[in-house]
Structures are given as structure tokens and as C-alpha cells.
Amino acid sequence: MTLPLAQQQLLASVNDGLHIGGQWRGSSHGATVDVRNPATGEVIRTVASASVGDGLAALTAADEAFPAWAATPARERAEILRRAFDLLTERADDFALLMTLEMGKPLGEARGEVAYGGEFLRWFSERTAHVTGRYGANPEGSGRMIVTQHPVGPCYLITPWNFPLAMATRKIAPALAAGCTVVIKPATLTPLTTTYFVQLLQEAGLPAGVVNVVTTSVPGPMSEAILADPRLRKLSFTGSTPVGRQLLKQAAQGVLRTSMELGGNAPFIVFDDADLDKAVDGAILAKFRNIGQACTAANRMLVHVDVVEEFTARLTERVENLVMGPGTEPGVAIGPLIDDRAVAKTDELVRDAVTRGASIRTGGAPADGHGYFYPATVLADVQPGSALLTEEIFGPVAAIAPFRDEDEAVALANATEYGLVSYVFTESLARGQRMIERLETGMMGLNVGAVSNAAAPFGGWKMSGLGREGGDEGIHEYLQTKYTLTPNPFA
Ligand code: NAP
């Protein structure tokens, strides 16, 4: 299928090389990787695939650029980030289209991600000049204690395919704000947005070597070599818990600083005193945004037994009106899943739940034809033991199960190894407060279906990860503390 001219021109303007030390170049062993449009399954661009040697060359570039970047005045670093924010805002439509082409999300959502991703540039440009230390007498009065903050050094950033821009800016912006240099490895399925963003950073005046990009189809060996190199000082990873756990083991060898944004299994709890209009709006957002492919996606909808039928009926009616199709088409709410494996996995989870007694209210089988489509699905009466209650669904499937009282809701919600986010719908302030204290998650939406914000500390408890991205916390992931003692100058 021939792409419209504007799409061809946009794709052609994305560099097909690796970015190392300010230069664009091919892979040292000539390897390439194809990038496909999940709405059609067709190859839309072929880009260089880094070798282990290329990965290490990128680390060399980051290491060499580090002293000068760390010594660059905070204001100058802030201004580059701010210019990047302005350029991204000007080119929001191009970035949104590129993301839709390589990842599949509807254009409106892609625009939302550009705005969200851009906020990390603006937020951390504003934080850059505010990194502070402290000075004071020790309790004995015999000395002066000075506490200073320093960039940790060259960082390795690994990002997933589901939010190709925001996951990159959420790491790159605080790293640069803190004075760190980076090597970034985007997901092989969606490298174009990151590459295009790094072209923009160059235009914003970022010096050579500060950000290096190495897309690769051999992430394991390349990452292992980078993590084993003593010049690396930090790993920041967003992706699945199994891969994160493996990387943590490798990072342990070098006792690296790590930030791990891992998987989720969000409970979405609707109490009998909830405003059901708000709850259904929240459910559409928390479940079907990004075609259900979000770590923050509502994985289990736990609904009080007295309102479960009404909630399910209202949600089903809304879901039946969600239009499925290529994300580039107007009005589409459900784009394709990322690949055929994602379609097969989603369907397997649905079949398992149905075999165990769930009923399909809408959707429930893969779509025919081109691309990787699975329709928005509502499953009622999901039974304990169903795999989709313990595994991340990562598809547009709302799994609804009833509960009887608050204690049971809390017990069900916390019965998971994950602890990223929870959603609670209740009109009772006291109950909302109790939920804040009882739910084991790093984030919570109280009567809202989306929580992400550049000014907030994003991150999970339990196996959902370590560390925080965004907020005031985000920059500290890239800073290390030094305490110095000097004698009392008056003694
Ligand atoms: P994934 O398979 O873990 O991949 C994530 C990244 O890790 C990709 O860049 C991938 O490269 C790379 N990778 C895979 N194996 C590796 C290895 N052995 N060594 C080094 N890197 C390796 O996860 P995904 O399927 O892309 O993303 C979905 C997962 O991310 C879900 O679990 C979701 O919950 C999680 N997620 C979490 C957050 C959060 O903030 N907590 C946000 C978004 C997504 P390739 O692309 O080449 O495989």
C-alpha cells in the first residue's frame, strides 16, 4: 500500500542511522532492523541496528562528553531543554503522526503524548537551576557540614514501545538537567520517534556526545556489555518486570544506580457510593487509552456487587461505540495492537477467562483483515484463577469482577506482586482516605482515570519498580550526594 506523500516525507526525514558522538552513522556490522506500521503490518522504514561495539562506542562518546556537560552552567542546560520544548510544541503534529505510524495509537492520543512528553522538557528545564545543597554547623559545633549534589555520570536508558516519546523525554530531560550524559536504546519496534527527537535536540543546541542513540535488534548482548563497563554509572529502564529483574542482576555487578519502571496490574475499584458516570468515564480512560497497552492500564475492574450490573451495562454501551481502525483515521479510538503476538496473547487471556466462566458482553475475538487489531472487549463475571487477573493484559479488554465489602475490595486489589497504580471511585471522602492508606501502589487515581503528570513522582511499589520519574524526585535519580566536613572556621 502506498503511503500518502506527507507520511512518506515525514518518514524520510527521520535519520536511519545510529547517533554516536554527534555523528549519524550505520551499524559497524551493517545490520538493519525493519520498522512496521501495526495498522497494516507493512515495513515503513529500515534503520541501523547497533552491534555490541556500537553500543560501547556510544558509551565512550557519553563518557567523553560528560565532564564538559556536567560543568556547563545550569542555566545553559535549562535553556537547551526549554528550546527543545518549544521546538517539540511547534512540531507536535509531525511527532504525533510519526508515533501513530510506528506504534499505532490514534492520532488524538499521540498528540496527547507529545504534550505530556514535552512537559518533562519544560518541567526539568525549570528544575535545572534549583539543585541545591546545604551548609551548617555540626551538632558538636566543632565543624561545618557541607552537602552538595553531583551528576551521577554517563547513564544507560532503555525504553519500551508503548509510549515512544514520553518514555524517552521522562528519562532524557532529568538526566540532562542534572548534568548527566546518556546512551539511549529505544524499543526495536518503535525507534523512529526517539531518533527524530534526538534530531530535534541537536537543533536545540545540545553538544555532541551528550545524547547517543543505539537502536538494536540484539538488546541482550549490547546491554550486558554496556552494564559491565565501569564507565557507566546508572541504568534507567522502563519495561517488563522479567527483563527489569534480569537487568538489575547485571547492574548489581557494577553497583550501579538504577531506576526501574516495570509492569503493572492496576485495580480499578468502583464502590456502591460512586458516581457511576464518573466511574464509566474513568474506566474508558484507564482501560482503553493506548489500546490498553499501558503499565497504568486498569487490569482488574472490581465493582461492588450492588452496582456491578449497572456499571457493566453502561460501560458496554460506551465501549460498543468506540471506533476501531488505523490511528491515522479520524474518529478512531481503538488502533491496532503492536504486533501479532500481542493479538494472540490478548485472545489467549480472553479464552482462558471465558473457559473459567466469564461472559463476553462485547468484542472478544481478533478482527479479520490486515494489521494487528483486537476489538474493545468487556468481560463480566471474571472468576478467580483467570490468568488476566494476575497477568498484565496489555490489550483493550475490561475484566470485571464483583466484590461485597471494603475489606474484600482491598484484599483483592492488593493480591498481586505489582503495585504501580490503583483507581478508586467513591463519593465518600473518608473511604477515599482509607483507600490511600490501604492500597499498596505507588500512585492512585481518586475519582479519575489517569494520573500521569510531569510534576508528579511516577513510579511503583513492590515488583512495579524502584525510583521515581517526574516531580522533584525525578532529578534526584540522576544526582548523587556528597557530604564534606570542615573545621569550625572560628575555632
Ligand atoms: P520489554 O520487553 O521489557 O522491553 C522494554 C525494553 O527493554 C525494550 O527496549 C527492549 O528492547 C528492551 N529489552 C528486552 N530484552 C532486553 C535485554 N535482555 N536486555 C536489555 N534490554 C532488553 O517490555 P515491552 O514489551 O517493550 O513494554 C511493555 C512493558 O513495559 C509492560 O510490562 C509495561 O507495564 C512496562 N511499562 C512500564 C512503565 C512504567 O512506567 N512502569 C511504562 C511503560 C511500560 P527490544 O525492543 O529490542 O525488545
pLDDT tens per residue, range 272-328: 999 999 999 999 999 999 999 999 999 999 999 999 999 999 999 999 999 999 999
* Mutation to probe ligand 1, out of 223, 243, 420 (largest number of atoms < 8 A from CB): 243
113 lines ligand 1 (CB under 6 A): no
pLDDT tens per residue, range 99-158: 999 999 999 999 999 999 999 999 999 999 999 999 999 999 999 999 999 999 999 999
Ligand 1 geometric centre to CA of 240 (Å): 5
Amino acid (one-letter) located at 411: A
Whole-prediction pTM: 0.97
Question: Please, is 339 exposed, middle or buried when counting C-beta atoms within 10 Å of its C-beta (0-12, 13-18, 19+)?
Answer: middle
Amino acid (one-letter) located at 477: E
Find the distance separating the first CA and the last CA of the chain, reported in whole Å. 81
441 lines ligand 1 (CB under 6 A): no
> Among candidates 177, 153, 163, which has minimal Cα distance to 230?
153
Q: Which residues are catalytic?
A: 261, 295
Ligand 1 geometric centre to CA of 463 (Å): 14
219 lines ligand 1 (CB under 6 A): yes
The CATH number assigned to the domain with range 5-262+465-481 reads 3.40.605.10
Ligand 1 geometric centre to CA of 307 (Å): 37
C-alpha to C-alpha distances, 40 to 43, 59, 97, 371, 373, nearest whole angstrom = 9, 36, 15, 4, 10
Ligand 1 geometric centre to CA of 216 (Å): 13
Q: Beta strand pairing status for 418-419 and 397-403?
A: unpaired
Per-residue pLDDT of the chain (491 residues; tens, 9 = 90+): 688 999 999 999 999 999 999 999 999 999 999 999 999 999 999 999 999 999 999 999 999 999 999 999 999 999 999 999 999 999 999 999 999 999 999 999 999 999 999 999 999 999 999 999 999 999 999 999 999 999 999 999 999 999 999 999 999 999 999 999 999 999 999 999 999 999 999 999 999 999 999 999 999 999 999 999 999 999 999 999 999 999 999 999 999 999 999 999 999 999 999 999 999 999 999 999 999 999 999 999 999 999 999 999 999 999 999 999 999 999 999 999 999 999 999 999 999 999 999 999 999 999 888 899 999 999 999 999 999 999 999 999 999 999 999 999 999 999 999 999 999 999 999 999 999 999 999 999 999 999 999 999 999 999 999 999 999 999 999 999 999 999 999 99
Nearest CA to ligand 1 atom 13: 219
Backbone phi, psi, residue 156, to 5°:
-110, 120
CATH among 3.40.50.10860, 3.40.309.10, 3.30.470.10, 3.30.499.10 for 266-453: 3.40.309.10
Distance in angstroms (rounded) separating the CA atoms of residues 120 and 401? 36
Distance in angstroms (rounded) separating the CA atoms of residues 93 and 102? 14
419 lines ligand 1 (CB under 6 A): no
